[in-house]
Structure 1
Amino acid sequence: MLLCFVVCKCAVSPTGDKLYNINRYQHKLLTLARDGTVLATYRDLLHFPSANIHVTPAGQLLVGDGSCIIQLHSEGNMKLATLVTGKEMYIMRGSVSVCYNSTTSSILVAGQSNSILVFKVQ
């Protein structure tokens, strides 16, 4: 199987010591060391196969899967919060891209509906 069919999205930690990979077929997030060693696996996500991932400057992970956006610990092994769900995500219609803007303390979500949602973080 080609790698592009297994790894859907990936991101790198701010320090460059971890690589986060979303496996779309096994519906999980893998945290890898630089040498490829699996450090952690998080399985309770990815209802939608085109999930997206973003690493904040503090190293926390934001994962958007079309039905919600969750925040994970920087180790990639523990959910910290569900940030966005419900009707806000419904209008995005499918896969989303998620990003954290540290200047404005906002989470930006873009989807297939050609709209962008902005959520202020406390």
Structure 2
Amino acid sequence: MRCTVSPTGDKIIVINSVHDKVLTLARDGSVLCTFTDPDLKWPLAIHVTAQGQVLVCGQHSNTLLQLDGEGRKKLATLATSRDGLKYIWSVCYNRSTASIIVAQFDEKIRVFKVQ
């Protein structure tokens, strides 16, 4: 399992790859919400931006999704295999360049500019 923490430190966002889920937990470990979506298969990479939005990548679905800060709903599908995503390993947001950086198992890096 991989996880990240909200900018305020009050939420822990965890991915459960086997069950295609993103779980948002309170600091005490209680489940606040569970996210699933047909566009998210085998989530493997997750990142929370300084603004609190959740970026999650599905390795088997070759997708990059943007979730709301609660991890409850999908705001957008930002990229797919049509954009070159394949075998995703990690994701992060670079605020200074307004870019989402995705690393892949094939040692390729994809950079997506955000508006």
TM-score, L = length of structure 2: 0.90
Please say if 1:46 is aligned against 2:6: no
Please, which of 93, 112, 116 is the counterpart of residue 109 of structure 2?
A: 116
- The offset of 1:50, in angstroms, is 5.2
State the alpha-carbon separation in 1 of the partners of residues 66 and 43 from structure 2.
Answer: 17
Alpha-carbon contact 1:65-1:96 (below 8 Å) kept: no
Q: 1:50 to 1:43 in 2, by over 3 A?
A: closer
4+ residue segments displaced more than 6 Å = none
SS at match of 1:51: strand
Please, which of 55, 61, 70 is the counterpart of residue 48 of structure 2?
A: 55
Alignment match, 1:4? none
Alignment match, 1:86? 81
Larger radius of gyration: 1
Structure 1, residues 9-62: CA drift from partner, whole Å, max 9, x if none? Answer: 100001100000111222111100001111111011531x35110000000000
Runs of 5+ unmatched residues, structure 1: 1-7
State the alpha-carbon separation in 1 of the partners of residues 18 and 26 from structure 2.
Answer: 21
Runs of 5+ unmatched residues, structure 2: none
Paired amino acid for 1:108: I
State the alpha-carbon separation in 1 of the partners of residues 45 and 84 from structure 2.
Answer: 14
For 1:1-122, list aligned pairs within 5 A: 8-44=1-37, 46-47=40-41, 49=42, 51-66=44-59, 67-90=62-85, 92=86, 94-122=87-115
Aligned length: 112
Alpha-carbon contact 1:69-1:84 (below 8 Å) kept: yes
SS at match of 1:16: coil
State the alpha-carbon separation in 1 of the partners of residues 13 and 43 from structure 2.
Answer: 15
Paired amino acid for 2:109: I
